[in-house]
Amino acid sequence: MDKFLEQLDKIKENNPNPFEVPEGYFDSLPSRIQDKIVANSEKRPVFKNILVVLKPQLAFAAAFIGIALISIVTLEYVFKDKTTLPVSNGVYTRIIEVDASEYSEQHFIDVLLDENKQNTEKKNSSDEYINFLVDENIDYTTLIDEL
C-alpha cells in the first residue's frame, strides 16, 4: 500500500492538474446567475407565449388527424372489393316500408303451412321408396354399396 501511495505522489509531481478555477469565480457566481435570471424573465412577445401554450395541443390534434386518415385509407383499401346492394338505398327503404305492409299475418301462416305440407310429401315419397325396396326384396347391403 505504501508503494502505491509513493507512486501516486510521483505521478502528481510529474503531471500537475491542468484544470484550475479562475480568480474570483465563486465570488462573482451569484451575481452572474441573477443577471441571467433577469435576462430570461424579460417579457416574450404575446405570439410566442400563445405558441408555447398551443404547441402541444396542435401536435396532439395533428397526430389524431393523421391516425384517422390512415385508418380511413386502410378501411377503404380493405373493403374496396366488397359488393354493394343491387338496389339503391332509396329503393331498399321503399321495399321495407311499403312492400312489407302488403303481407298479412295470414299470408305468413299459409307459407309456413305450405312448407310443412312439402316436408310431409317428401317424407311420404321416401316411405314409398322404402316400401318398394322391401316389396322387391332388395338387400340393404347391396343398396348401401350402390349409394
| Residue pair 143/133 in contact by the 8 Å Cβ criterion | yes
Place of cell 343491387: 86
Domain ranges (residues) in the chain: 22-82, 87-147
Over residues 84-108, the pLDDT tens digits come to 656 566 666 766 666 666 666 777 6
* pLDDT interval class at 79 (50, 70, 90): confident
> Against a cut of 0.75, is the pTM above it?
no
Of these ranges, 12-16, 34-38, 117-121, the one predicted with the greatest mean pLDDT is 34-38
82-119 per-residue burial string, b: 16 or more CB within 10 A, e: under 16: eeeeeeeeeeeeeeeeeeeeeeeeeeeeeeeeeeeeee
* pLDDT interval class at 65 (50, 70, 90): very high
Helical spans, DSSP H, in 1-147: 2-14, 25-40, 46-78, 89-97, 105-135, 140-146
Better-predicted residue by pLDDT, 79 or 124: 79
Q: Taking the chain, what is the end-to-end CA distance rounded to the nearest angstrom?
A: 102
